[in-house]
Structure 1
Amino acid sequence: MAQANTDSQFKARILKPRTPGSDNRWGFVILPKEVSAKLPRRGRTTVEGTINGKPFTVLLEPDGKKSHWLKIDQPLFESSGADFGDTVELEIWSAAEELEPEVPSDFSQALSASPDAKSTWENTTTISRIDWIHWITSAKQEKTRTKRIHDACDMLASGKKKVCCFDTSGFYSKAIKAPEAAD
């Protein structure tokens, strides 16, 4: 079966996050819905592309509105020559392989404490690991996150490879959204 064409070219303005956290300088763009619609998933998905002609590979995040947002980290800012408020030229396409997600330290420790869960984890697909991590990190309260880590380890230890009943796009649950832009 031939893979659908996911190539898109568009212009977008770089937004500054209202609350950037402790990260280094970063910005973001919201993908146009028609660009996002060409991608294989409404949840987190890896794309390759260019910003002002400079190449990148990133894991797009869902915006909760049936589209995605792209984080522009400090190195990408520097290579693109762009700044907050600038309109940049972007080209993106689905990556041939998903980027392996970074496992949060609390979840990694829990997996290490459960050999059965860790074994199942290591035998799942990258997409499934992305979804498990997304489910855990989308918890709004620490209590919920802790429970999800415990539940994930239990489910993985029982051989379950995919998290069930989690809206990876955030559209139905409203738990996932793009950052708010500063004024």
Structure 2
Amino acid sequence: MFAYLKGYVAYSGKDFVVIDVNGIGYKVYTANPYEFRKEEEVQVFTHQVVSENDMSLYGFKTMEEHDLFINLISARGIGPKTACAILAMKDMSGLRQAIENGDAKYLCKFPKIGPKTAQQIILDLKGKLVVPDAALFMNNSLAEALEALQALGYGDKELTKVKTAFKDIDASVDEIIKKGLQLLVK
């Protein structure tokens, strides 16, 4: 629903921060709330998780963390809290490498991950974790457009085409989505 929030950190809790956006406080769960300083102006990439009993917003300082979170919660047995615990370890490259190499023993070093869950993560995510180019995510319009295209059902391979085509182009979100859809239909 929200691609990102831009505002000030009003409060930090044990597993969340409150981001004040024009007088409205958004409670955003995050892997490392202590990375955020009170009164600091931040831009947090977000993902909304809706379940039967809850509706929560999860936030990340980088689009890379955001994308890894999305991939992790798509694995069977990994919920948003577990995904945040994994991201809190700040070992994204090691995590990706362990998944690609099928190293279940390494994955068991992460909190809340046992041998069965580690095997399930490998089974569900091997080959799906594309290492993002950090420069691509400097453009907020591109990041928002990619999230919209992902919501429409396009996968990482298709989104890579759009990322490459628009990485150096300054365009609005609507323009990127429109031209991106034209590119993907070809």
Quickly name the TM-score band, shorter chain normalised. under 0.3
TM-score by length of 2: 0.26
Greater relative contact order (Cα 8 A, min sep 6): structure 1 or 2?
1
Which structure carries more helix by proportion? 2
TM-score by length of 1: 0.26
